[in-house]
Amino acid sequence: MATINKNFRKLSAGYLFPEIARRAKAYQEAHPDAKLHRLGIGNTTEALPKAVLDGLHVKVDRLGDAKTYTGYGDEQGDTPLREALSGYYRDLGVEIAPDEFFVSDGAKADAANIQSIFGSDNVVAIQDPAYPVYVDSNVVSGRTGHFDRNRGEYEGFVYLAGTEENGFFPEPPQEKVDLIYLCSPNNPTGAVATHEQLQAFVDYARKNKAVIIFDAAYAEYISDDSLPRTIFEIPGARECAIEINSFSKFAGFTGVRLGWTIVPKELVAEDSEPGELHKMWFRRQVTFFNGASNIAQAGGIAVLSTDGLVQSRQIIAYYMENARIIREGLRSVGLTVFGGDNAPYLWVKTPNGMGSWEFFDQLLTQCQVIATPGSGFGAAGERYIRVSAFGHRENIVEAVDLIKKNLVISKENN
């Protein structure tokens, strides 16, 4: 008799993004003439630049000739791409050996799967609010008790709240935890950790033999050179951190699909030797994953070329100009806005202490603008919404104009 993984029953609600899509669809069906402005899901919209397209085309052509055709590659990624990634980190002032990179088909799957190399009794600390994958993957793997609806939290997790008071980047936990998920630049708040803030986590992790899982999917959006773009800029991080990153937002690969994870050879857990976790992730990937698409990997190499970097960064600058337009527009109607300086997300306080979903509905019905309710990222996200800066400029400008024109904010309590 088969039984189910009952941890799935613990999951608090439907996955956030399909729920947003469901509500948007219902509104569209009820208002077929309405033009919706989608600033919800962080989805890239601008065309790939020439240098990257050229890299993709060359690989496609090579697949069309038996003399240059290639089938399965190494599960951990093609060596030229891992060498190019190593060069990219060298330019950031950090040495990572090519064989410490594990190329993937994107950061989401790695963020969900990485917990599988750790014990099921590990205590997990999560930034709150956070990208839902960190939470849900650990719930399904049995590292929590039930979801407490009153508190909006799972029993057993240690939540590290990002609040206005701490600039949306928390301090390390007071108690002993084993795994710590950090995301900087942060989804959803747009906050970026300083060297000092990350150093405090690295010091904590080394002292407690904890491991930091660091999601740097938006690192390329940092324009302030005083801020760290990788956790490996922090002394001691090689012993205690794994970094997950992606070409999705870096280079518009949300549909192409390509990412990477760095597991340094010095990384240790309480009961492991240096090198063991690195070998375990290798073993996990070669067993359960068959490698990223070779076309996508050729595209990744093109992104990391001199022209590819220049052209990809021009597109990032375009999205960051969107962020500036959104920030100024929302502030002009009296909303309190955070983020959007070194990240493509703006974290907006709901007016009059309104609930996140309530404000989501107000933006949808009054302005035909779709944002993401902050509560979907955790209890600390309640009374905020996230606005994504991805989108065509004309759509962004139109959305901001609609908000300026149609959003009704009661002035009394705001």
Binding ligand PL4 (rule: CB under 6 A), the pick from 127, 248, 294, 350 is: 248
Binding ligand PL4 (rule: CB under 6 A), the pick from 44, 137, 197, 246 is: 246
- The rounded distance, in Å, linking the Cα atoms of 231 and 182 is 10
Binding region for ligand PL4 (CB under 6 A) out of 71-79, 100-108, 197-205, 312-320 = 100-108
- The pattern of x and - marking residues 134 through 173 that bind ligand PL4 according to CB under 6 A reads ----------------------------------------
Pairing between β-strand 179-183 and β-strand 158-161 as defined by DSSP bridges: unpaired
By CB atoms closer than 10 A (0-12, 13-18, 19+), residue 207 is exposed
Binding ligand PL4 (rule: CB under 6 A), the pick from 108, 229, 278, 383 is: 108
Helix axes 356-367, 393-406, angle to 10 degrees: 100
Full DSSP string of 238-264:
GGTEEEEEESHHHHS-TTT--EEEE--
Task: Report the residue number, 247 or 268, with the smaller CB distance to ligand PL4.
Answer: 247
Is the CB of residue 346 less than 8 Å from the CB of residue 323? Answer: yes
Task: Report the residue number, 241 or 268, with the smaller CB distance to ligand PL4.
Answer: 241
Binding ligand PL4 (rule: CB under 6 A), the pick from 24, 36, 37, 42 is: 42
Binding ligand PL4 (rule: CB under 6 A), the pick from 7, 10, 12, 17 is: 17
Cβ partners under 8 Å of residue 352, min gap 6? 409, 410, 412, 413, 414
Binding region for ligand PL4 (CB under 6 A) out of 81-89, 106-114, 231-239, 271-279 = 106-114
- The rounded distance, in Å, linking the Cα atoms of 188 and 345 is 6
Rg (CA), the chain: 21
- The rounded distance, in Å, linking the Cα atoms of 336 and 392 is 24
Using CB under 6 A as the binding rule, whether residue 41 contacts ligand PL4 is answered as yes
Binding region for ligand PL4 (CB under 6 A) out of 107-115, 173-181, 327-335, 361-369 = 107-115
Full DSSP string of 402-414:
HHHHH----TTT-
* Min CB(272)–ligand PL4 separation in Å: 26
Binding ligand PL4 (rule: CB under 6 A), the pick from 48, 96, 107, 402 is: 107
By CB atoms closer than 10 A (0-12, 13-18, 19+), residue 99 is middle
Task: Report the residue number, 259 or 264, with the smaller CB distance to ligand PL4.
Answer: 259
Task: Report the residue number, 278 or 386, with the smaller CB distance to ligand PL4.
Answer: 386
Task: Report the residue number, 42 or 300, with the smaller CB distance to ligand PL4.
Answer: 42
Instruction: Single out the residue of 259, 213, 216 nearest to residue 240, CA to CA.
Output: 213
Binding region for ligand PL4 (CB under 6 A) out of 101-109, 192-200, 301-309, 326-334 = 101-109
* Min CB(207)–ligand PL4 separation in Å: 26
Using CB under 6 A as the binding rule, whether residue 350 contacts ligand PL4 is answered as no
- Given strand 124-128, what is the order of strands in its sheet? 101-104, 259-262, 241-246, 211-215, 179-183, 124-128, 158-161
By CB atoms closer than 10 A (0-12, 13-18, 19+), residue 202 is buried
Nearest residue to ligand PL4 by CB is: 106
- Contact positions with ligand PL4 (CB under 6 A) in 173-212: 183, 187
Task: Report the residue number, 254 or 352, with the smaller CB distance to ligand PL4.
Answer: 254
Using CB under 6 A as the binding rule, whether residue 299 contacts ligand PL4 is answered as no
Using CB under 6 A as the binding rule, whether residue 318 contacts ligand PL4 is answered as no
Using CB under 6 A as the binding rule, whether residue 229 contacts ligand PL4 is answered as no
Full DSSP string of 168-213:
T-PPPPSS--SEEEEESSPTTT-----HHHHHHHHHHHHHHT-EEE
Helix (H, G, I), strand (E, B) or coil at 292: coil
Binding positions for ligand PL4, rule: CB under 6 A: 17, 41-42, 106-108, 111, 131, 183, 187, 215, 217, 246, 248, 254, 259
